[in-house]
Structure 1
Amino acid sequence: MSDPVIRRTTREDFVASSDPALQEAADRGDVNLLSYRELYHLWERQQWSVQDIDFSQDRIDWNERISPEERFQRMYGLSSFFLGEQRVTAELAPIMRAAPSEDMRIFLSTQIADEGRHVAFFDRFYHEVGVLEADDLQERLAESENHVNPKFRELFDEMLHERVDRLAREPEDLETMVEAVTIYHMVLEGMLALTGQHFIIEYNEQQGTLPGFVEGFSNVARDEHRHVAFGSRFLREMAERDERYRTAITRTLELVAPIAEDVLRPHWYEEGMPLFGYSISEVRAFALKALERRLKAIGLVAVG
């Protein structure tokens, strides 16, 4: 992969989000971010249904075409997403409540609905394809815990959760709100989710496997671009409002980004081993390029 810029992101429905990572002009600091009301209208136009996805071929692929060893390797990414969606669904309500404008709260309400739908998507995929033997959602989530590394829990269950708990107690604390959005939208969704989605979807398309999953996961990725576009706009506004918020963004990224990079690396990974056909350095470059574009749009990285 000669250039980590997202090839998939030329899709019109992805680009419509205004996520800076999808705009080459962001390299020059020239980016147009949608307003919160425009992002809400985009959400109305980009609805999809978990129940409409056909997983019949996916069940055949998972049980008959994909080897046990590869299924084990795939479980790291799948479990990280399944658990990650559940975690962020639970954490988003205090962020929504703390948002300083009604337009922000309306959009974040749609994001809560999105995150819940993402959990339902993974639960239906796991159940109908036979990924795990567990009988219900709670058991499938518990069994998935065996497939993620400790850095995942540190990022979601400690760093994000601590700030969200603080916001729940003090919703007027805008500095904590900035830290929470930096972790949630820039790192968890922007660095981790959209990077993993890109490579997992592309690998399945190349291998001709899991067509139902690819369809649904592409819808999930489209939602995530819209969420990250919200985070980019919010953080740009806050960085322009007060220097202490700019400092909060950079401080949080310096603390959290190294842990996020460790989450990108599965616990069973050995140096030189390809991840979905790519090296870990290529996966890392992809994530960092997208983050750089978003930071330029926020006004935190020098252009040129």
Structure 2
Amino acid sequence: MSTFDLYALPAELQTWDLEAAGAARFTWEYGDGRDRLLGLYSKGKQKQWDSAERIEWDLEIDPDDPFGLPKEIHPLVGSRTYEGLSEAERTASGRAMGVWQFSQFLHGEQGALICSARIVEGVPDLDSKYYAATQVMDEARHVETYARFLQEKVGEVYPINPHLKALLDDTLTDPRWDMPYLGMQVLIEGLALAAFGVLRDISTDALTKQILSYVMADEARHVAFGRIALRDYYSQLSAAELAEREEFVIEGSFLMRSRFRGDEVWEGLGYDVVDCVAAVENSPYMQAFRTLLFSRIVPCVKDIGLWSPKVQKAYADLGVLDMAGLNLDDLMADDEAKADSFDQVRIERAAKARFDVELQARRAEVDAVVTAEANA
């Protein structure tokens, strides 16, 4: 079945073509590399995995609540629109919001796939090309995973959100080689990583938690890659060059904040969009969610050296300046530990399933012997 048969809203039937800018860079230095980046490259090679094998695709999901999200976090709770909905309509709209969120994860992963390929092409250092090449494989796997989940298990997809599309446009059409890093590794991937973490921790669906955990372990390395590469490069830039990057970060951060309002979902359902957007803005859950979304972005922006008073004011206005003190290395270690814990659960579940099959087979053998003796 074509994905176009599953879109909840009309999607562009043709490809979205962006005119690529910037040079493809070769380097003839093959012996020099940063130890931490080469270590990350080694981990990137070791941590490759097969979505078809590692994820338990036979796990059942609730068709009305495929993501296992609590009803009380519905962003419209308390609004005039929500109060006028039946229980079935509330369930359907909550499902639609979940499908929309995971669809943006899918489209964002395709953006990351293209951006990481652009980094391989444009970055001047071979150690960065090495790591970015492993990220290309990671992102292809993530696209495959989210596409399979939405198409085979959920059965519905939403088109790309305009705010995400605008940031991808800005990121991919800028000729400077560091902009795919800044737009993708820091902003888009940083926000996605935080969103994955929130949903992983509140979901009650085993398959959803598994997918998010495994993808997060990869994404945490990608954000670390951006930090290492950009911190070194930005220490060499002039004040004017840094100011240009800071302006990009501020604009991108506000775009990302608006990315999770879901205007097109409410419009597609025929709801009062003005009332819905106001409800999303004022929802205690969504306010906390938007704040947590910046838990991976703000400390990274500070770490790479884009931390002027103007940037700090922008994050203060967004209510997320306190996030600057978070330790990204600790967060990455926690992401990897949780992915490992899901592996252990999967292994134990598979072992129990094998034991149950063997036990049933032995019982059948015993029953056959008893029956044969009784008939002798």
TM-score, length of structure 1 as denominator length: 0.71
Is the alpha carbon distance of 1:155 and 1:71 closer, same or farther for their aligned partners in structure 2, counting shifts above 3 Å?
Answer: same
- Could you tell me which residue of structure 1 aligns to residue 287 of structure 2? 281
Q: Which of the residues 252, 275, 278 maps onto 1:271?
A: 278
Q: More deviation in 63-72 or 38-47?
A: 63-72
1:178-201 CA distances to partner (integer Å, 9 max, x unpaired)? 2221111111101x2112201221
Equivalent position of 1:137 in the other structure: none
> Could you say which residue in structure 1 is the equivalent of 2:95?
71
Q: How many angstroms does 1:270 deviate by?
A: 3.5
Q: For 1:149 and 1:111, how far apart are their aligned partners in 2?
A: 24
- Amino acid corresponding to residue 47 of structure 2 in structure 1: Q
How far off is 1:260 after superposition?
1.3
- Which amino acid is 1:160 matched to? T
Match of 1:62 in 2: 63
- What SS does the corresponding residue of 2:158 show, helix, strand or coil? helix
Which ranges in structure 1 are unaligned for 5 or more consecutive residues?
1-32, 133-142, 167-175
Aligned partner of 1:213 in structure 2 is 208
The alignment's TM-score, normalised by the length of structure 2, stands at 0.58
Q: SS where residue 100 of structure 1 aligns?
A: coil
Q: Is the 8 A contact 1:37 1:103 kept in 2?
A: yes
Q: Which amino acid aligns with 1:50?
A: S
Aligned counterpart in structure 2 of residue 153 of structure 1, from 162, 165, 174: 165
| CA deviation string 1:12-36 (max 9, x = no partner) | xxxxxxxxxxxxxxxxxxxxx9721
Tell me which residue corresponds to 1:252. Answer: 248
- Confirm or deny: 8 A CA contact 2:261 2:280 kept in the other structure: no
> How far off its partner does 1:129 sit?
1.0
State the SS of the aligned residue for 1:290.
Answer: coil
Give the Cα–Cα distance (whole angstroms) in 2 for the partners of residues 55 and 274 of structure 1. 35
Superimposed CA distance per residue, residues 25-57 of structure 1 (whole angstroms, 9 cap, x where no aligned partner): xxxxxxxx9721011111123222211212333
Q: What is the identity percentage for the equivalent residue pairs of Structure 1 and Structure 2?
A: 23
Correspondence list, 1:114-193, <5 A: 114-132=138-156, 144-145=158-159, 148-156=160-168, 158-163=169-174, 166=175, 176-190=176-190, 192-193=191-192
State the 1:150 CA deviation. Answer: 2.0
- Structure 2 distance, partners of 1:71, 1:64, is 6
Residue in 2 that maps onto 1:203:
202
Using the TM superposition, give the Cα deviation of residue 89 of structure 1 relative to its aligned residue in structure 2, in angstroms. 1.3
Match of 2:167, as an amino acid?
L
SS of residue in 2 equivalent to 1:238: helix
1:108 corresponds in structure 2 to 132
Q: Secondary structure at the match of 2:235?
A: helix
The root-mean-square deviation of aligned C-alpha atoms, in Å, is 2.7
Distance verdict in 2 for CA 1:296–1:150, change over 3 Å: closer
Which amino acid in 2 is paired with 1:144? Answer: Y
> In the alignment, which of 121, 125, 128 is matched to residue 97 of structure 1?
121
Q: Report the Cα offset of residue 64 of structure 1.
A: 7.2
Between 1 and 2, higher relative CO (CA 8 Å, sep ≥ 6) is seen in 1
Q: Which amino acid aligns with 2:58?
A: S
* Shift, 1:272, TM fit: 4.3
Unpaired runs of at least 5, structure 2: 1-33, 69-90, 267-275, 309-323, 326-376
Q: Is the 8 A contact 2:40 2:221 kept in 1?
A: yes
Q: Which of the pair has more CA radius of gyration?
A: 2
1:223 pairs with 2:218: yes
Hey, what does 2:232 align to over in structure 1?
237
Match of 1:3 in 2: none
- Kept after mapping to 2: 8 A contact 1:178/1:249: no
Contact 2:45 2:134 in 1 (8 A): no
**1:44 aligned onto 2:38:** no
* Higher helix fraction (1 or 2): 1
Helix, strand or coil at the partner of 2:278: coil
Check 1:91–1:299 CA distance in 2 against 1; reply closer, same or farther (3 A cut): closer
The aligned amino acid for 1:57 is L
Corresponding residue of 2:298 = 292
| Residue 218 of structure 1: how far off its partner (Å) | 0.9
Quick one: distance in 2 between partners of 1:96 and 1:245? 23
Letter of the 1:72 counterpart: A
Is contact 1:48–1:219 with CA below 8 Å preserved after alignment?
Answer: no
Query: 4+ residue stretches of structure 1 with deviation over 6 A?
Result: none
Q: Which letter maps to 2:46?
A: R
Contact 2:115 2:180 in 1 (8 A): no
Aligned to 2:108: 84
